[in-house]
A and B are shown apart, each in its own frame.
Chain A
Amino acid sequence: MATQPLPIAPVPLTVEQAEAMSQRQIKKHHVAIMLLHWFNAAVWLFELATGTALIASPYFRVMPYWYINMMTTLFGSRANMLHFHIAVGILWVVVFLVYGIFGFRTYLARQILGKEIALDRDDFRWLSIRALRILKKSDEPLPPQDSYNAGQKLFALLVYAMIPIIMITGLIMAFHLVSTAVVGWAVVLHFTAVGLVVSGLMIHVYMGAVFPEEKPAFFSMITGMVSELYAYRHHFKWWKEVKMQEEAWTHQFQGGSGSTGVASPPLGESAIPSVAPEKAEAKRGSPGMFRRIFRSPEYWPPYVAGVGLGLTLLATFVLMGQGLGASGAFTRYLVAILAWVAPHYTFHSSYWSNYIQPGQSPLIAFLTFEIFGAMLGGFVSGWLAGRLRITVDKGPRISRRTRYALAIAGGILTGYGARLARGCTSGLGLSGGAVLAFGAWVFMLGVFAAGFGGAWLMRRYWL
């Protein structure tokens, strides 16, 4: 039986070792924890959205009035919004109480408070080195971490301290408990506790959703698994623990015949028995599928994208009563700016005034929001596939400056043409074409003809 001690800190891996480890998945989160996490995330989303809109007083207000008015309109009345806020809050309290009561002994007290989020000496060193690194004062390697790193632990401690405050003050306000003075204190404590969590939450969301090195942590909240390589590099102490458990398991059930040689590179020969092949296979399963589809750096086949676009178009017709569009949104942005800069001109222009209705901003339209959704979707797609980068797409022969000039010239032509045709490729070509508008098909023929000719004329700039 292999008895070599596990290393104290991660040792450099060879390419093959890293490859092998990246293929193996280790279970990080229980399904219940993942469900609780996303339930909690949804609650925070709803509660922050309604809570910040409920604070209307000039004295406490944090959100601009347009947001408060928008949310009020969305809920019909501010009272409805308050009732929703309270109902979701109570659901949150109940779920967490159940979790806290039934899981207190085995889970909350021992596992989480006592072990998973308790800071040890390595954590303090980790924090100080992190801080020094940002100041470029240190290039020491980071000390090995448990299943949660010191930053995550700090955030967890903050959250565990603040959640009871938020819950209790929320209940006091919702049911006007104890006395007026207590409710008065509850208001400011509620705001303070939420504000402090939000300050940490921003980092939490950023780390999970945007920061490249922690992407596996984000996906582990969906699949429950992380690659062994990630565990090895980021949560070494936890990895070691898992390995020791596996070793004990193998020793017990397979009489110590576990080591097959391929699996455990960082420990020399055979300190860590490999996971049996069929077991590893079973563990992989779904994350592999998810990865292949969403995380591949390659683009999807255009046919799939076409079907997806068609379904999206159908969905907007069903849900919004109108199709997709792009240039209309920009027209509306422009009208909003015009109405602000030169209201007299805008209101009396026969063209621009079409977009203005009394008492309503020209920005309140599906298209003006759709554009942001499209940007967000593109961002998520690029992020999932690891394509995020500031870059200028251009042909190899032209300079950046030429590229910018051509883009602006083309943009002006496109905008002008879109207004001539009363729609762009999305608004007229796609949405109009989908409802068999004659103008749309004529327009598309024109687009293809001009595009065919234009591409030939402009080929030098791209090839």
Chain B
Amino acid sequence: MARYAMVTDLRKCVGCQACTVACNSEWAVPTGFARTHVHPTGVAGTFPHLVSSFYIAQCNHCDHPACIEPCPTGATYQSADGIVHIDRDLCIGCGYCVEACPYDARYINPVIKKADKCDFCWPRVQKGLEPACVLTCTAHAKFFGDLEDQNSDVFKMVYEQGARRLETSEVSIGPNVYYLGKKEDVDLVFASFPPHRPRLLRAGEVWRRYLRPLVLGAIGATFLGQAIAFFHQLRVGEDEFEE
């Protein structure tokens, strides 16, 4: 079974947003939203030791995705090859997954009113094509492949050249998008765009704290009550009622 991953070589990325445009046009992403987007870090350091780089945001197809658990209908799921999919037929657009993602990789598509995000261009990959962003990258900075294939570019970059995952001590869920480059560039990107802890919508919080105990308590109490009544009935036996 494959295990797909993507690597961005920060030494090559020029921040041209060609990947963003390719992705938007490939997947008809509405204006103002994006499945992938390039964020400049701005300039850091003191002259003459200045550093500047780009953060390429997209779904990381994490080993332990934070977005699956809160999805009420199971519309978000992970296939065995590691790709996190959204079943649009099942998605009801509640936004729990959007809040949960530590990388803010998801958005609610205002046209279909359902969650949407990068799926490593799965329909293209199935046909043997490269993801749109990889194919279009003007600087050949993006690579896509199978980490279990020892001859793949991504395998070499991750296991031999030391490409790194964007993780912190707080949020470590195994993202499968890696960054390769000079240490100070990668450090700057990671410091500028740290993942946040998975969040729960206020509604979900209220459910967890108040509503679920209420519902379970009510059901438990009535179940217990009628179980007692039923055993009482069995023990006493029935009188033929009033006839």
Contact = CB atoms under 8 A, between A and B. Distances in A.
A229 interface: yes
A314 interface: no
B72 interface: yes
Contacts of A321: none
B238 A54 contact: no
Size category of the B interface is 35 or more
Residue of B73, B96, B229, B235 with most partner-chain A CB within 10 A: B73
Given A203-B222, A206-B226, A212 B69 contact: no
Given A187-B94, A192-B207, A389-B234, A297 B219 contact: no
A202 B223 contact: yes
A229 B93 CA distance: 55
A216 B93 contact: no
Residue of A22, A187, A195 with most partner-chain B CB within 10 A: A187
B94 A389 contact: no
A28 interface: no
Interface stretch (A40-48, A57-65, A93-101, A247-255): A57-65
B238 A174 contact: no
Contacts of A173: 92, 94
B139 interface: no
A297 B243 CA distance: 12
4 cross-chain pairs, A with B, having the tightest CB-CB distances, nearest first: A56-B74, A195-B215, A79-B89, A176-B113
Interface residues of A, number: 50
Given A55-B72, A187-B203, A192-B207, A202 B219 contact: yes
A176 B233 contact: no
Interface string B59-71: 0000000001111
A446 B230 CA distance: 43
A220 to B, nearest CB: 13
A196 B94 contact: no
Contacts of B222: 199-200, 202-203
A386 B238 contact: yes
Contact of B229 (A56, A183, A211, A216): A211
Contacts of B135: none
B42 to A, nearest CB: 31
B204 interface: yes
Nearest to B99: A184
A185 interface: yes
A180 B95 contact: yes
A18 B71 CA distance: 59
Residue of B95, B114, B201, B242 with most partner-chain A CB within 10 A: B242
B74 A206 contact: no
18 contacts: A55-B74, A56-B71, A57-B74, A60-B72, A78-B73, A82-B89, A183-B92, A187-B94, A187-B96, A188-B203, A188-B204, A191-B211, A195-B216, A198-B219, A203-B222, A211-B229, A213-B241, A229-B242
A59 B198 CA distance: 13
Interface in B192-233: 201, 203-204, 206-207, 211, 214-216, 218-219, 221-223, 225-226, 229-230, 233
Contact of B233 (A187, A212, A233): A212
Residue of B92, B96, B229 with most partner-chain A CB within 10 A: B92
Given A22-B243, A56-B74, A212-B238, A186 B215 contact: no
B160 interface: no
B94 A199 contact: no
A233 B241 CA distance: 11
A230 interface: yes
A185 B203 contact: yes
A282 interface: no
A390 interface: yes
Contacts, number: 141
A199 B218 CA distance: 6
Contacts of B114: 176
A167 interface: no
A119 interface: no
Given A58-B69, A82-B73, A184-B95, A215 B90 contact: no
B141 interface: no
A135 interface: no
A59 B70 CA distance: 5
A174 B92 CA distance: 7
Interface string A69-88: 00000000111001100000
Given A184-B96, A199-B219, A211 B203 contact: no
B48 interface: no
B170 interface: no
Nearest to A232: B242
A184 B201 contact: yes
A390 B235 CA distance: 7
Interface in A290-316: 297
B190 to A, nearest CB: 29
B87 A78 contact: yes
B74 A184 contact: no
Interface in A224-260: 227, 229-230, 233
A399 B69 CA distance: 57
A181 interface: yes
Contacts of A212: 233, 238-239, 241
B229 A206 contact: yes
Nearest to B88: A79
